[in-house]
Amino acid sequence: MELRDRIGEALKSAMRDKDAKRLSTLRLINAAIKDRDIAKRAEGGDGGEAGVSDGEILQILGKMVKQRQESARAYEEGGRLELAEAERNEISVIEEFLPRQLSEEETDKAVAAAIDEAGATSIRDMGKVMGVLKGRYTGQMDFGKVGPMVKAQLS
């Protein structure tokens, strides 16, 4: 089942169950996907009519998780624990649709394999390595943390 369909089914299920918090998060996900669909159609080009792919949806979801993590951190620093908890609840709903995150060890192996595949020898090849990783592991690793790992292995 496509990711878009899984989200739609979860939305219907949340409506039937009258789960308001889950429903609002799923509606936010749907809205973000539809925004990207509209932007893609406006750009024109290939695939605009079909909408965004599962890979792009994973990117959207990853961005949403990251935004909520930052918000939760800011709320905690400001002493607004109930708002931080609400952000964490949204994160848990969004993460249901993301693939399993790679462990530290798996990420190290993936970085080493990507360096070999890209034929990277210096820090100047970091973009090639990151391109390989993003193509293969979108939604499975935090690329903000992977960048320094790639840099360390290329140095």
CA-to-CA distance for 121 and 118, rounded, in angstroms? Answer: 9
Cα dist. 74→12, 84, 138 in Å? 32, 8, 26
For residue 129, count other CB atoms closer than 10 A to its CB: 26
- pLDDT computed for residue 31 by the predictor: 94
CA-to-CA distance for 130 and 115, rounded, in angstroms? Answer: 9
- pLDDT computed for residue 72 by the predictor: 95
Dmax over CA atoms of the chain, in Å, equals 55
pLDDT along the chain (155 residues), means of 10: 88 94 95 91 68 85 91 95 95 89 85 86 86 82 83 83
Tell me the domains of the chain and their CATH numbers: 3-95 (1.10.1510.10), 104-154 (1.10.10.410)
pTM (two decimals): 0.74
- pLDDT computed for residue 49 by the predictor: 63
- pLDDT computed for residue 108 by the predictor: 86
- pLDDT computed for residue 27 by the predictor: 96
- pLDDT computed for residue 116 by the predictor: 87
Distance of CA 44 to the CA centre of its chain: 24
